[in-house]
Each structure stands twice: as C-alpha cells, then as structure tokens.
Structure 1
C-alpha cells in the first residue's frame, strides 16, 4: 500500500529532527519549518519504498507529531 505524508507547519517547531532522519524526504523553508520536498508539502507524492525506514524514523523523532502519515493522497 502506498504511503503519503504532509507536515503540519502550524505545529512544526523547526527542530530539524525529520531532516536529519530522512533528508531525501524533508527540507526546510525560509522560516526553518519542515516540509515534504517530494511534492512541496501537498501530500500527493508516494514515499518511495526504499525510504520507508527513514520515514518511520522521522515520524518517531518528531517531538510535536507534525508529520502526518497518510494512506491516500491528501488531494
């Protein structure tokens, strides 16, 4: 089953944990807030299977639970 993700920028505290765990998935905007660079944080790009472990680590390490795991595209 494909997995999608989005970062809730309203709760992100710019700690850098997600980018450290999964740099191929997450990046930071000019304010330091995380976003999914695979799809510009729209929740429409599938997380590649080879990045599944990194993605799981990012979710686990996010102190504010801002990373949302989705079973279908957000749009």
Structure 2
C-alpha cells in the first residue's frame, strides 16, 4: 500500500499528520508529505482515515 499527497493542493491543516504520523508529516516547506515508501501494515487503517478526513481531498492511499 502506498500513500501520496498532492502537495500543490495541500492547505497545511496538519490533520493527516495528526491522524497517521507513521506515514504523514508536515514538510519543512509547509505542505504535508507521505514520508514512507510503503504504508506499514499496522498503519493502513489510519492512513485511509487520513485520506478520508482530508478537507481538500489531496491524499491518495492505494
């Protein structure tokens, strides 16, 4: 399972990083980023929750 963030559309709310810090973090330049190559099995559910909770729908988990 992989996660990506369309950083151009990110509004920097930090919700994804607070829901699933194992996969998402706020980048040094502002927008959020997925910082792992593969979503750990233990974080798959919270990664999907972060995707579903994103207010601007810029997260993809597949």
- Fold similarity call, TM over 0.5: yes
More helix by share: 2
Rg larger in 1 or in 2?
Answer: 1
Q: How many residues align?
A: 62
Partner residue in 2 for 1:42 = none
Of residues 52, 55, 60 in structure 2, which corresponds to 1:63?
Answer: 55
Partner residue in 2 for 1:26 = 24
Alpha-carbon distance between aligned partners in 2 of 1:64 and 1:19, rounded to the nearest angstrom:
15
Q: RMSD in angstroms over aligned alpha carbons?
A: 1.1
Provide structure 2 residue ranges, at least 5 long, that are not aligned to the other structure.
Answer: none
Alpha-carbon distance between aligned partners in 1 of 2:29 and 2:38, rounded to the nearest angstrom:
25
Alpha-carbon distance between aligned partners in 1 of 2:44 and 2:61, rounded to the nearest angstrom:
11
Deviation at 1:48, TM superposition (A): 1.2
Q: Which runs of 4+ in 1 moved over 2 A?
A: none
